[in-house]
Structure 1
Amino acid sequence: MSTQKITIDTMIDAPVARVWQAYSTPADITQWNFASDDWCCPSASADLKVGGAYSARMEAKDGSFGFDFDAVYEEVEPNKALTLAMSDGRKARTTFEVENGKTKVTTTFDAEDQNPVDMQRDGWQAILNNFKRHVEAD
């Protein structure tokens, strides 16, 4: 498995409590957890505690492809950080930092070996950008 780490981030014009809620609540997750408008997230679950399960279904809207993203929470520090251990052994850590009344969200994740690093970074960044749009639209 690759040991390369990829980092993405965004600045969201919203209080950290709202950003945390949108990032960790299944009803919100289904509204933003996809990289483009031709995809969707029809279901999500989040047992927000260390050892709790996380799952999100991602699908092309035309039904041509879909997959489940499954993980377990290894760290849960409300309004500050969470770490997911993915089913393939990789990890993703997301932090939430207040800066000048806004919230900086940063995710660092282990790259996988099947797709180019740039493709992985761009895909995860697109999802994070969609998250930002969702939160700021409230």
Structure 2
Amino acid sequence: MNEEKKIEVEVEIKKNLDKVWEFWTKPEHITKWNFASEDWLCPSAENDLKEGGKFVYRMEAKDGSFSFDFSGIYEEIKPKEKLVYKLDDGRMANIHFSEDDETTKVKEIFEAEENNSKEMQKDGWQAILNNFKKYAESEK
């Protein structure tokens, strides 16, 4: 991973690791949290959770003004510990999961793209992660 382009975001979730992993990896949950703000949604998610497997999350503005697929290929999977994937544009991302008592930390490290500022990208990824925390903590 290019160190100059590296961005990190993280969150602590008051939920055990088993549930956090389930909410992060199962499409029926991904569609309920994978957006940065209330004016966006994730109407579909596919996740072939294996090394060499592909994921595709559809991201859409609720007003229909913009949409895109967030997608890539898994390069490494250590269940309930680590995911490494390459996005379709060639950037790398790592997600680390760790549990301490009743809290699970999720840390994402990813390479910035060229079109938007690193700060804007960090804010966007952090917003999605915060949305994930809100969803995970509200689910049984």
With the shorter chain as reference, the TM-score category is: over 0.9
SS in 2 for 1:64: coil
The unaligned stretches of length 5 or more in structure 2 are none
8 Å CA contact retained: 1:2, 1:112: no
Q: Distance in 2 between matches of 1:29 and 1:101?
A: 22
State the partner residue of 2:113.
112
| RMSD across aligned positions (CA) | 1.2
Q: Alignment length, in residue pairs?
A: 138
**Shift of residue 88, structure 1, vs aligned partner:** 0.7
Residue 3 of structure 1, CA deviation:
4.5
Tell me what 1:90 maps to: 91
Instruction: Tell me the distance in 2 between the aligned counterparts of 1:101 and 1:20.
Output: 14
Find the residue that maps to 1:58 and give its secondary structure.
Answer: strand
Deviations 1:13-55 (A, max 9, x none): 0010100011111110000000000000000000000000000
Confirm or deny: 8 A CA contact 1:9 1:125 kept in the other structure.
Answer: yes
Match of 1:61 in 2: 62
TM-score of the aligned structures, taking structure 2 as reference length: 0.95
Which structure 1 segments of 5+ residues have no match? none
Encode CA deviations 1:57-100: one digit per residue, 9 max, x unaligned: 00000111100111001111111110111001101100100123
Whether the 8 Å contact between 1:2 and 1:113 is mirrored in structure 2 is no
| CA–CA distance in structure 2, aligned partners of residues 2 and 18 of structure 1 | 31
Please state whether the residue corresponding to 2:68 is helix, strand or coil. strand
| 1:1-138 correspondence to structure 2 within 5 Å | 3-138=4-139
- Structure 1 stretches of 4+ with a deviation exceeding 3 A read none
Q: Using the alignment, how far apart are the partners of 2:129 and 2:94 within structure 1?
A: 13
Instruction: Return the offset for 1:124.
Output: 0.1
| Identical counterparts, % of pairs | 49
